[in-house]
């Protein structure tokens, strides 16, 4: 540690170490999320060349980036998570080089600003690697390098080459995505802060230097106006001109400054202390403490510069505030919220520079003592590292939840007939939508797919009913869904309705099993779909059965036995249902959702063991009185299928449970 001074040759090593500690500790346990799945599926089955036409309707300059990276990295989760570490390291190096070019006489501040940006805790989307490497991080790197070459040109005897490089990098940073449209203003502000002289003299110098970049900015603005208003753009609609008032803008501005400039740096304390007994919280705090000790030791060996100036600190605060607001403009114009710890905090990427400079300026202004500042800088970096580890664990859990969902699908539905629609209200998971699920479902059930109409799709009734994809929940309505450059064609009579409660097991809803009554408390946009559910779309005896990609089969616990029992019920094998239930009970497994008893109640009753069926019904009701509807529906089903000599006994059981006549 004694040799890790501010010498430039050690800085990349420290940046690499910080990247690994903040983002790399849980890499083997993370995977694909959100739009990663459709992108990965497209790369695997349609090839890298498909990204150019698929991005043509929105962000057409993003396609070449996806084409390049997917030509290098196969669509395997671990590879993309490792690639994300490499890209994050390059981003850190680029930020350090940019700040070093801008503040050549302030190497310590340049280094601290770099670490602030490297672990910036407001942006939690690092692990959505396939999407955000291409969509944000690579263009952002281009922008940082463009800023760096601008400042390098100021001190070069022949600046033309550096200016040309900076302009080309600006084009590569601003045209692929509208995320970074606003941060071009930061170049002007940073230039103004480093020029010397009176105000108008500095302003004229800055404007003269910035003018070529301003032209590119204007060109990009013209392009966006054309594409949004008159072109083929098919993404977020611009709402700013219709809905943003002075009051709402002020509220959004203050919200952005508060979150990006202050709150995100300390939110890990709130998140961990509200769940302090959880292992994740303890590990997060432990990692933050260890990181704090390391950075105190590292930074105190890199003494503070002697050129502390109140004016410079104030300028950092002003640049930071304006940088945050400029970074917020694109998402604000699209009418999108700035919600932390959600997919919407991806918009923080464009506020990263502003948020880092704002906090750096505040600390520089308020504290003069070098020792105190060293400890504060180390604390901020450590909290950022802790926050990113906390985020990583969220994605680790999400990947584990995905494994459980896809394997329960495979256990319950060994194969599906082509052109099947999977309908559900929503799945109990945070970072995946129905479009996200569509890719791995096709990957699982059509592993040999070649370009054609995609055979399967998942649709959320929560979002799709009444729209173009799902006009109504009625039989024989055609369903068409465009999925990047391919499409799905089916109809509502080719649907299987599934439901997975939070904490429960996946199940196939079947109108013939009384599920409309059993699940009548669920949202009507799901229960109205139950009559469409056609379990015959499931191929129950498929060989080989579906096997989810990238996921090892989890241990056979309760949900394995439940899904297999429900599959056996579908085939009419009641003895197998009983056998599976007995095996699960012998291993100590029991339902977490009392409705999961129903399949076993029916099996015992339909094989003549009414006593056990009644006892299980009592158990279910003791677990949750709300399952009475399901219990009654099950016993009515039993009554309809029972032989004549047991119908009276079944009728008495129905009366015992106070079931109303059907």
CATH of the domain at 569: 1.25.40.10
Is 85 part of a structural domain of the chain? yes
* Mean pLDDT value across residues 629-647: 85
Domain range holding 512?
413-545
For residue 259, what is the DSSP state?
I
Structure tokens at 499: 């439901």
- Residue 304 — pLDDT band, cuts 50, 70, 90? low
Structure tokens at 605: 């009753």
Q: Are residues 535 and 588 in the same domain?
A: no
Q: Are residues 444 and 590 in the same domain?
A: no
In Å, how far are 247, 309, 338 from 237, measured between CA atoms?
21, 44, 16
Contacts (Cβ under 8 Å, ≥6 apart) of 111? 6, 11, 96, 99, 302
**Cα(300)–Cα(555) distance, integer angstroms:** 50
Q: Which residue has the higher pLDDT, 660 or 378?
A: 378
- Which pLDDT does position 237 carry in this prediction? 45
Structure tokens at 455: 């055979």
Q: Which helix (H) or strand (E) holds 424?
A: strand 420-424
Q: Are residues 275 and 163 in the same domain?
A: yes
Is 490 part of a structural domain of the chain? yes
Is 2 part of a structural domain of the chain? no
Q: Are residues 525 and 561 in the same domain?
A: no
Is 403 part of a structural domain of the chain? no
**Cα(263)–Cα(62) distance, integer angstroms:** 32
* Mean pLDDT value across residues 301-323: 81
* Mean pLDDT value across residues 493-514: 94
Structure tokens at 211: 């003018």
Q: What is the mean pLDDT of the chain?
A: 91
- Residue 121 — pLDDT band, cuts 50, 70, 90? very high
Q: Are residues 386 and 453 in the same domain?
A: no
Q: Are residues 390 and 475 in the same domain?
A: no
* Mean pLDDT value across residues 189-195: 93
Is 162 part of a structural domain of the chain? yes
Q: Are residues 493 and 612 in the same domain?
A: no
Is 4 part of a structural domain of the chain? no
pLDDT of 101 above 70: yes
- Which pLDDT does position 467 carry in this prediction? 79
- Residue 617 — pLDDT band, cuts 50, 70, 90? very high
Is 3 part of a structural domain of the chain? no
pLDDT of 261 above 50: yes
Q: Which residue has the higher pLDDT, 330 or 112?
A: 112
Indicate if the alpha-carbon torsion angle 129, 133, 136, 137 is positive or negative: positive
In Å, how far are 94, 178, 230, 336, 645 from 233, measured between CA atoms?
31, 12, 8, 17, 68
- Which pLDDT does position 233 carry in this prediction? 46
pLDDT of 497 above 60: yes
pLDDT of 251 above 50: yes
Within 107-263, residue ranges assigned H as helices are: 107-118, 129-132, 138-154, 160-174, 184-194, 199-229, 240-243, 246-258
Half-sphere exposure of 126 (CA within 13 A, CB side): 34
Strands 420-424 and 495-499 come out as: parallel
Q: Are residues 207 and 289 in the same domain?
A: yes
Least confident of 57-61, 317-321, 502-506, 532-536: 57-61
Cis peptide before 206 (omega within 30 of 0): no
Q: Are residues 122 and 90 in the same domain?
A: yes
Q: Are residues 280 and 141 in the same domain?
A: yes
* Mean pLDDT value across residues 505-514: 94
Contacts (Cβ under 8 Å, ≥6 apart) of 658? 628
Q: How many domains does the chain have?
A: 3
* Mean pLDDT value across residues 46-71: 93
Q: Are residues 53 and 176 in the same domain?
A: yes
Q: Which of 524, 545, 566 is the last residue of a domain?
A: 545
- Which pLDDT does position 239 carry in this prediction? 43
Q: Which of 349, 372, 397 is the last residue of a domain?
A: 397
- Residue 241 — pLDDT band, cuts 50, 70, 90? very low
Q: Are residues 86 and 212 in the same domain?
A: yes
Is 505 part of a structural domain of the chain? yes
Phi-psi label, residue 658: left if phi above 0, alpha if psi -120 to 50, beta otherwise? left
* Mean pLDDT value across residues 582-603: 94
Q: Which of 486, 520, 545 is the last residue of a domain?
A: 545
Indicate if the alpha-carbon torsion angle 196, 197, 202, 205 is positive or negative: negative
- Which pLDDT does position 238 carry in this prediction? 43
Q: Are 449 and 442 in contact (CB under 8 A)?
A: yes
pLDDT of 48 above 60: yes
Spatial CA neighbour of 33 closest among 163, 170, 131, 159: 131
- Which pLDDT does position 437 carry in this prediction? 96
């Amino acid at each position: 540690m004694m040799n890790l001074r501010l010498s430039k040759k050690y800085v990349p090593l420290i940046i690499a170490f910080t990247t690994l500690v903040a983002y790399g500790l849980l890499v083997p346990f993370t995977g694909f999320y959100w739009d990663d799945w459709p992108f990965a599926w497209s790369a695997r089955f349609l090839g890298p060349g498909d990204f150019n036409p698929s991005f043509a309707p929105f962000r057409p300059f993003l396609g070449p980036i996806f084409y390049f990276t997917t030509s290098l990295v196969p669509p395997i989760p671990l590879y993309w998570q490792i690639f994300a570490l490499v890209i994050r390291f390059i981003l850190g190096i680029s930020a350090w080089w940019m700040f070093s070019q801008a503040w050549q006489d302030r190497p310590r501040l340049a280094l601290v600003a770099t670490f602030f940006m490297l672990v910036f805790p407001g942006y939690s989307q690092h692990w959505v690697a396939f999407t955000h490497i291409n969509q944000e991080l690579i263009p952002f790197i281009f922008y940082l390098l463009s800023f760096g070459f601008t400042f390098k040109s100021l001190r070069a005897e022949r600046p033309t080459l550096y200016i040309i490089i900076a302009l080309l990098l600006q084009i590569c940073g601003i045209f692929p995505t509208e995320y970074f449209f606003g941060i071009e203003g930061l170049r002007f502000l940073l230039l103004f802060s480093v020029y010397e002289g009176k105000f108008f003299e500095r302003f004229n110098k800055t404007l003269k230097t910035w003018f070529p970049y301003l032209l590119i900015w204007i060109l990009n603005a013209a392009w966006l106006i054309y594409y949004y208003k008159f072109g083929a753009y098919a993404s977020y609609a611009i709402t700013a001109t219709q809905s943003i008032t002075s009051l709402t803008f002020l509220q959004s501005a203050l919200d952005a400054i508060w979150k990006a400039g202050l709150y995100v740096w300390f939110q890990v304390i709130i998140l961990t202390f509200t769940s302090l007994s959880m292992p994740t919280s303890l590990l997060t705090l432990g990692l933050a403490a260890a990181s704090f000790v390391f950075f105190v030791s590292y930074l105190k060996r890199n003494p503070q510069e002697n050129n502390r100036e109140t004016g410079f600190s104030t300028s950092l605060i002003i640049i930071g505030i304006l940088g945050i607001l400029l970074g917020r403009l694109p998402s604000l114009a699209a009418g999108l919220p700035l919600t932390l710890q959600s997919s919407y905090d991806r918009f923080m990427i464009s506020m990263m520079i502003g948020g880092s400079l704002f906090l750096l300026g505040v600390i520089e202004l308020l504290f003069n003592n070098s020792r105190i500042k060293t400890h504060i800088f180390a604390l901020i970096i450590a909290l950022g590292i802790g926050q990113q580890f906390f985020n990583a664990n969220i994605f680790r859990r999400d990947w584990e939840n995905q494994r459980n969902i896809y394997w329960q699908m495979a256990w319950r539905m060994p194969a599906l007939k082509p052109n099947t629609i999977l309908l559900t209200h929503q799945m109990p998971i945070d970072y995946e939508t129905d479009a996200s699920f569509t890719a791995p479902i096709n990957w699982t059930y059509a592993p040999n797919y070649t370009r054609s109409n995609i055979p399967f799709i998942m649709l959320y009734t929560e979002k799709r009913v009444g729209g173009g994809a799902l006009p109504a929940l009625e039989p024989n309505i055609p369903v068409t869904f465009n999925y990047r450059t391919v499409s799905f064609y089916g109809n509502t009579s080719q649907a299987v309705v599934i439901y997975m409660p939070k904490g429960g097991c996946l199940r196939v809803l079947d109108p013939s099993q009384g599920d409309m009554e059993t699940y009548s408390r669920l949202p009507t946009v799901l229960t109205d779909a139950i009559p469409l559910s056609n379990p015959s779309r499931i191929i129950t005896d498929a060989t080989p059965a579906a096997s989810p990609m990238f996921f090892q089969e989890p241990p056979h616990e309760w949900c394995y036995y439940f899904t297999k029992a429900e599959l056996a019920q579908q085939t009419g094998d009641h003895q197998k249902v009983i056998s599976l239930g007995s095996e699960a009970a012998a291993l100590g497994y029991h339902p977490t959702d009392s409705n999961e008893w129903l399949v076993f109640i029916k099996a015992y009753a339909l094989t003549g063991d009414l006593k056990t069926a009644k006892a299980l019904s009592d158990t279910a009701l003791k677990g949750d009185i709300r399952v009475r509807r399901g219990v009654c529906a099950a016993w009515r089903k039993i009554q309809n299928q029972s032989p004549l000599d047991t119908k009276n006994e079944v009728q008495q059981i129905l009366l015992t449970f106070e079931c109303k006549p059907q």
